[in-house]
Amino acid sequence: MITVIVQYPNGQRKEVLLAGVPRVGEQIRLGNGAPAPSLIVDQVLWMDADTRDPEPQVLIRVTPRSDVPRL
């Protein structure tokens, strides 16, 4: 598992655990049992590690998938 920072179109950010790093154009679904919209990955940014945390950080920018009906 890898910690990924998800950035939504409204600027909100959320740390999530994913099995891997998604690629641009891939669809992801986040949620803990609650219905969650499908998201499309627009951008993936790898950030270098710093001295406090040796693991690199990954920031992905997402947008809602437009062809999925919203409830």
CA dist., res. 21 & res. 3, Å (int): 9
The CA–CA distances, whole Å, from 24 to 31, 35, 39, 60 equal 20, 23, 11, 9
Alpha-carbon distance of 5 to 55, in angstroms, equals 13
Full domain range(s) for residue 49: 2-64
Determine, yes or no, domain membership for 71: no
pLDDT at 11 over 50: yes
* Average pLDDT score over the chain: 82
Domain membership of residue 15 (yes or no) is: yes
Q: For the segment 19-35, what is each residue's pLDDT rounded down to a tens digit?
A: 888 999 999 887 765 66
pTM comes to 0.73
The verdict on residue 17 lying in a domain is yes
The pLDDT confidence band at residue 61, using thresholds 50, 70 and 90, is very high
Rounded to an integer, the average pLDDT of 3-7 is 90
Q: Is residue 56 part of a domain?
A: yes
If you search the block for the tokens 């950035």, which residue do you land on? 7
Tell me how many domains the chain contains. Answer: 1
